Amino acid sequence: MKDKIIQLREELDRLVAENHEQLEQFRIRFLSKKGVIPGLFSEFRNVAPDQRREIGQALNLLKQKAVEKIAALKDQLDRSSIRDKTETDLSRPAEEISIGSRHPISLVKDRITGIFQNIGFNISDGPEIEDDWHNFSALNFPPDHPARDMQDTFFIEKSEDYQKQVALRTHTSSVQVRVMETTKPPIRTLSPGRVFRNEAISARSHCIFHQVEGLYVDKGVSFADLKQTLFYFAREMFGEETEIRFRPSYFPFTEPSAEMDISCNICNGEGCNVCKYSGWLEIMGCGMVDPAVLKNCGIDPETYSGYAFGMGVERIAMMLYSVRDIRYFFENDQRFLKQFTSAL
């Protein structure tokens, strides 16, 4: 009996079923009432008492093994027959392919840069970790300017000597300095990128955001050129009817400086809570590059002049999509991100 059990065990190990009919034959052979295993159970009463314990255990294990093996073979056959059916059914619907969507900030950034690229601006890149010269000093920030203060800037290396300080860039004007230092005019360039300011995070401001800044340096560039370029941009970005206005402002690196507003495209200038009932929305800073900045970057201000502008991408995205809280852009919530397929 022992030999018989061993032989059946080996037979079970080798068992493969090509189809359900064959598997049913196996089941009948091993496990049906007249099958070999129940047959052994009925012979069990003839086993000598001193061997009963050992053979009884072996017999139980054999039965268990047969049940498990037949179930496993059935599972295998079931699965491959489903696969055969679906693989040959060419009319079945395709599996859904889920593709991600672009981030709204990328969409808006590309839309902004695209508008300026159409009129000959190229794109420049620069480091996010910046030295004092490129972020501040070359741009005419006096040594005690509040923007250098711990309040606004994330310093990486603090030093008694402000010129040795290293920080996360607070604007992408730093990239413009790098371009002016290495390129001969005419320069028409955009510097899109991530910037960092040590500000409290709220619905309206974040310590990380994105800018697109622009710079044009050539012979005879005037404020009229700046105005016309930004007017063109505003209409392309916000619609044909968009009006612009300039308000005098101050930046260390431009003179004269201005803030540009566009007519509120939600109430068309009538007044609403988005424009705080003024009819205007502030969208960027701009001005004529200060001659001292040109000089710092090795460009002769007697020969050349230039304009510069800079805007926050989140701010524009919030206006375009009516997003009321800047923090949505940084939380990576799929329910929010999935809603953007194109820049409006």
Give the interface segment with ligand PHE, choosing from 1-9, 223-231, 282-290, 318-326 (CB under 6 A): 282-290
Binder to ligand PHE among 174, 229, 254, 305 (CB under 6 A)? 254
Tokens of 312: 């926050």
Query: Which pair of tokens denotes residue 292?
Result: 């001292």
Min separation Cβ 339 and ligand PHE, Å: 29
Q: Which stretch binds ligand PHE (CB under 6 A): 93-101, 124-132, 233-241, 283-291?
A: 283-291
- The per-residue b/e assignment along 320-336, b for 16 or more CB within 10 angstroms, e otherwise, is bbebeebebbeeeeeee
Give the contact letters, 1-40, x = binds to ligand PHE (CB under 6 A), - = no.
Answer: ----------------------------------------
DSSP-derived secondary structure letter, 47: S
Comparing CB distances to ligand PHE, the nearer of 59 and 317 is 317
**Size of the residue set binding ligand PHE (CB under 6 A):** 11
For the CB of residue 336, give the shortest distance to ligand PHE in the complex, in Å: 26
- Which residues ranging from 170 to 189 are in contact with ligand PHE (CB under 6 A)? 171, 173
In the complex, minimum distance from the CB of residue 338 to ligand PHE, in angstroms, rounded to a whole number: 31
| Residue 214: closest CA among 293, 149, 123, 144 | 123
Residue of the chain from 130, 131, 132, 213 that contacts ligand PHE (CB under 6 A): 213
**What ranges in the chain are assigned the alpha helix state H?**
2-14, 20-31, 36-43, 49-88, 104-117, 132-135, 173-182, 223-238, 291-296, 313-321, 334-337
The SS3 assignment for 325 reads: coil
Output DSSP code: residue 69: H
User: 192 or 285: whose CB is closer to ligand PHE?
Assistant: 285
- Of 307 and 340, the one with the shorter C-beta distance to ligand PHE is 307
Main-chain dihedrals φ then ψ at residue 293, nearest 5 degrees? -70, -45
- Stretch of 32-40, 87-95, 184-192, 303-311 contacting ligand PHE, by CB under 6 A: 303-311
Question: Which CB sits closer to ligand PHE, 135 or 340?
Answer: 135
Please enumerate in sequence order all residues whose Cβ is within 8 A of that of 195, keeping only pairs 6 or more positions apart, or say none. 168, 169, 170, 171, 172, 208, 209, 210, 211
* C-alpha count within 13 angstroms, C-beta hemisphere, residue 76: 12
Among 308, 316, 317, 343, binds ligand PHE (CB under 6 A): 308
Site string for ligand PHE, 131-170 (x = CB under 6 A): ----------------------------------------
Give the nearest distance from C-beta 152 to ligand PHE in angstroms.
Answer: 11
Q: Collapse the DSSP code of 287 into the 3-class scheme (helix H, G, I; strand E, B; otherwise coil) and give the result.
A: strand
- For ligand PHE, the closer of residues 104 and 310 by Cβ is 310
Binding part of the chain for ligand PHE, among 50-58, 92-100, 182-190, 308-316 by CB under 6 A, reads 308-316
Dmax over CA atoms of the chain, in Å, equals 118
Q: Quick one: tokens of 206?
A: 């974040």
From CA 253, how far away is CA 251, in angstroms rounded? 5
Beta-carbon count within 10 A of 270 CB = 11
| Contact call for residue 121 and ligand PHE (CB under 6 A) | no
Binding site for ligand PHE (CB under 6 A): 171, 173, 213, 251, 254, 285-287, 308-310
